[in-house]
Amino acid sequence: MVRTTVDLRDAGRVHAAPFLSDDGQAVAWVELGSGHQAAVFGTPENLRALAETSSAAADQADELRAVAERLAAAGMYGLGSG
């Protein structure tokens, strides 16, 4: 495994491309970006776990933003643009 960072805000197309391996194993594959820029793959269970964790991270980011907005409204925190 290699650590890499993909900014999905600029990734463009994200799509599923599952297949069966030569030995008949199901491979869950997700392409990130156009032109085969990056991909994530593993067993169906691996990608389900990734999806669950990704959803939780998105919910937590939304919660952080809401807290920051409430703090900014109270004059306790300065939010930058964007």
Cα 33 to its chain centre, rounded Å, is 12
Q: Are 15 and 32 in contact (CB under 8 A)?
A: no
| pTM of the entire predicted model | 0.78
Per-10-residue mean pLDDT for the chain, 82 residues long?
A: 86 91 96 86 97 97 94 80 50
Rg of the chain over Cα atoms, rounded to whole angstroms, equals 18
Say how far apart CA 3 and CA 35 lie, in whole Å: 20
